Amino acid sequence: MTSLNHIDLHIASPAAVDSQLDAAVDALLQAAMEDQQGVLVTRHSPRHYSVAVSAAVPFGTTMEQSY
């Protein structure tokens, strides 16, 4: 079975950032648990984010970074 392990978000409204990021993290939690990895949230710009299962993040942890 192939699990979803990355979501790219382009958010139209600043008010929607938190809810859309929360939904993306929730969507990846099963894959993160299966892979024993954490979740990395990357802010590319105020309206562009990516959320990914990452071996660089300890299992059970969600980390944020900005570029």
Distance CA 15, CA 21 (A): 11
pLDDT for position 67: 86
pLDDT at 4 > cutoff 90: no
CA atoms within 13 A on the CB side of 17: 12
Task: Give pLDDT tens digits for 19-43.
Answer: 999 999 999 999 999 999 999 999 9
Give the pLDDT mean for 57-64.
Answer: 97
Distance CA 54, CA 32 (A): 8
E runs forming strands in the chain: 6-10, 38-45, 48-54, 62-66
Q: Look over the chain and give the mean of its residue pLDDT values, rounded to a whole number.
A: 94
pLDDT for position 57: 97
Give the pLDDT mean for 5-23.
Answer: 96
Which token pair is 51? 């959320």
